[in-house]
Structure 1
Amino acid sequence: MDVTEEMYNLSNYDYDYDNFSFNPPCSFNINNDVSRVVGLYVHSIIFILGFVGNSLVIITYMFYKRTKSLTDIYLLNMAIADLLFVLSLPLLVYNEMSSWPMGSVACKLLHGSYSVNLYSGMLLLACISTDRYIAIVQAHRSFRLRSLSYGRIICVAVWAFALLVSVPTFYFYQKYTPGHTVNVMMLDGSNLTAQNLTVQWAVCGFKAATREVAMVAMVAIPSIQLVVGFFLPLLIMVFCYTAVIVTLMKAKNFQRHKAVRVVMAVVVVFVLCHLPYNVALLYDTASMFQTIDCGDVDILQTALTVMQSIAYLQCCLNPVVYAFVGVRFRNHFRRIFQDLCCPESLQSHL
């Protein structure tokens, strides 16, 4: 193994706890190779598509469509969360592949904001499904429950709750410099000798003061992500959209039957993007403190890397599923490009 590869592994597995130390980390050659490809190419595509799509949604709501309904407020906030999420991807990739050049404050802000935007995006999906349920299934109550002021209060509550559940991430992620001794072969004249080399590598990652705190935190953080970031939104979406589909199927209206396809697309996209990663995360959390062969851990980490990238695709698909499928929104989308070609027309919207 070369020194660079060993240094890269330290950023993920060489944690420094008081009175506690891990064995030298496994090589994880498969995961390292996959992570480089995913980080450089797949995440770059996700960043570009997510940035363009969510920026168009925000521009549309700011200058063209305005927020006239509760759904509009949710969609705008979700686009903001997704945009902030994709903006953090380049730094996250850089952190995985290079030494961390900034301080602990920047490290905490990077991982903390990533966590806040992740939770807020998932919870806003649940809010949208609840809004669709009230508008279609509980239509007689929709006027009272779907006011704009009510929606703004809910969005503030969602962001506050996302910040609250992200507090452990802000607390435990920091910059530190673990040391690891690597046995390397050195050529001294005509003699090849083995020497120990201490590798220093600035890491922006998880760090706890004691083993006990580390064990609790390393189980609690992914468990909160599983419950709040996946299972809770999934249960709300399944309940709400099942009732919506039953109601729409009873209506003899073409437009409402067309809406069923949109609802199904929403659920399918969410499940396909997030179910594989969360199943792998659940297995990884459950087996965290068991003795596992390095080869098996390498395969598990590779699966987590690939499935996490699939989950990231949600931020690219949200604008398509929730916004661009609407005829009116597509018309606004065309007008943006027309105005970009005609600066005088663009100024009329500013």
Structure 2
Amino acid sequence: MDPPDDQYSLLQELLNMINESTYDPSYVQSETVKLCPKLLVNDFGSDFNPPFYYFNFLLSYLGNGLVLYIIFKYEKLNTVTNIFLLNLVLSNILFASSLPFWATYFLSQWVFGSVLCKMVSSAYFIGFYSSILFLTLMTFDRYLAVVHAVSAAKSRKRSYALVSSAVVWCVSILASLKELVFQNVWDNPPYGLVCEETGYSRETMDFWRLVSYYQQFSVFFLLPLLMVTYCYVSITLRIMSTRMKEKCRAVKLIFIIIFTFFVCWTPYNVVILLQAVHSSGEEKDCDDSNTLDYAMFVTRNVANLYCCISPVFYTFVGKKFQSHFRRILVKKLPCLRRRLSLSSFSTRSSSQKTPHSEYEC
């Protein structure tokens, strides 16, 4: 048996050989990793976000709930427009259902567990993405009904609406898979339990975060904005070339829809693009990072608000839905019967309307 000193020498040589074969000094970096303080930003989010989340939640459930009630009580679900409208309402309700969870989270910490962290995060983005896609799809369908009324009459069937809706839901779910995979709960002193991206390397999460930024800007903003603008410009030109009554009011309504879409969505997506550029840069300035975080809190709530008010533009702009709404008001508040003309309750004229008449107010 070898003496203890010889055994120690052999062990030391073996360790040296392992170190020499696995250690490369060129990979060692001595520079300091700069971490940006986020305490003030998070405090701002805790104060700013919850009131807006609760307000958007209540507004969304009231507005979308009313539209849902009118659809099932007075309308039929065998038309293309109503199928798209129903899916839009469902996507808005799905999106709004996540807001109370986020409001509670900003007020304290994430107390709902890992499963709900993934589910609520996914529901937020699925509803968010599907809402904008259904708005775009309804705009395109309206374009077909007005500009290409004759040729589109054969293709605008119930099957077309169902297949299109299924495609929108599939695209929205696929675009939200990152939240289902990366989101998890972990303890982050001094904030407590947080529901954020974790469990993978920093490089992996940074890569997919950039993918989501550019995906949001290109697929869920730039493309819908171009389509909505083109469709409504074409509809406007078609309306102006007809003898439709109150054409000026219809054009004003179209302008309001485009303007609201642009105002609500553009600031948020510009911030998204700036965050993508900032994240891809090698040197990250803390002041710029904090400024973008502040801007994100504000612009995201404006974008969320559009998801809540969008059914108003796509339902109550038509005479038929206005008639249904008046009928509900008179039924619930009989004192308004004198002020509201009962003649508007008749929907016979709406069954004989032209493709342009949904813009008459």
Task: Judge same fold: TM > 0.5, yes or no.
Answer: yes
In the alignment, structure 1 residue 273 sits paired with structure 2 residue 264: yes
Q: TM-score, normalised by structure 2?
A: 0.78
Q: Which residue of 2 aligns with 1:69?
A: 79
- By percentage of residues, which structure has more strand? 1
Matches within 5 A, 1:82-121: 82-121=92-131
* 3-state DSSP of counterpart to 1:279: helix
Q: CA deviation at 1:121?
A: 0.6
Structure 1 Cα separation of the partners of residues 249 and 81 of structure 2: 18
Write out aligned runs for 1:198-213 (5 A). 199=190, 201-213=192-204
2:103 maps to amino acid? V
Separation (CA, whole Å) in 1 of partners of 2:248 and 2:117: 48
CA distance in 2, matches of 1:210, 1:171: 13
SS of match in other structure, 1:325: coil
CA deviations 1:87-139 (Å, max 9, x no partner) are 21111122233221222221110011111111111111111111111111111
Structure 2 CA distance, aligned partners of 1:330 and 1:142?
Answer: 26
Deviation, structure 1 residue 69: 2.6
Q: Secondary structure at the match of 1:254?
A: coil
Q: Is the 8 A contact 1:111 1:170 kept in 2?
A: yes
Cα distance, 1:223–1:74 mapped onto 2, change above 3 Å: same
CA distance in 2 between counterparts of 1:248 and 1:148 reads 26
> Which 4+ runs in 1 deviate beyond 4 A?
21-25, 337-342
- Higher-Rg member (1/2): 2
> Residues 297-334 of structure 1, C-alpha deviation per residue, up to 9 Å, x if partnerless?
22221111101111111122212211122222122223
Secondary structure, counterpart of 1:205 in structure 2: strand
Contact 1:107-1:175 at 8 Å conserved across structures: yes
Which deviates further from its counterpart, 50-59 or 221-230?
221-230
Across the two proteins, how many residue pairs are aligned to each other? 302
Indicate if the aligned counterparts of 2:53 and 2:102 stay in contact, CA closer than 8 A. Answer: no
Q: Is residue 133–residue 243 contact of structure 1 (8 Å, CA) maintained in 2?
A: yes
- TM-score between the two structures when normalised by the length of structure 1: 0.80
Could you say which residue in structure 1 is the equivalent of 2:46? 36
Counterpart pick for 2:227 among 236, 254, 266: 236
Letter of the 2:49 counterpart: G
User: In structure 1, what is the equivalent of residue 185 of structure 2?
Assistant: 175
Counterpart position of 1:308? 300
Checking the alignment, whether the CA contact within 8 Å between 2:110 and 2:185 is kept in structure 1 is yes
Equivalent residue, structure 1, for 2:146: 136
Contact 1:119 1:228 in 2 (8 A): no
Between 48-57 and 283-292, the greater mean CA deviation after superposition: 283-292
Superposition RMSD in Å: 2.2
What letter matches 1:72 in structure 2? Answer: N
What CA distance in whole angstroms lies between the structure 2 residues aligned with 1:34 and 1:330? 41
Q: In structure 2, how many angstroms separate the alpha carbons of the residues matched to 1:316 and 1:106?
A: 23
Unaligned runs of 5+ residues in structure 2 are: 1-31, 335-361
Asked if structure 1 preserves the Cα contact closer than 8 Å seen for 2:182 and 2:200, the reply is no
Q: 1:288 aligns to what? A: 279
Inter-partner Cα distance in structure 1 for 2:141 and 2:194: 42
2:316 maps to: 324
Native 8 Å contact 2:109 2:191 kept in 1: no
Q: What percent identity do the matched residue pairs reach? A: 30
Give secondary structure in 2 for the equivalent of 1:133: helix
- The equivalent of 1:45 in structure 2 is 55
The one-letter code matched in structure 1 to 2:298 is V
CA distance in 2, matches of 1:155, 1:318: 17
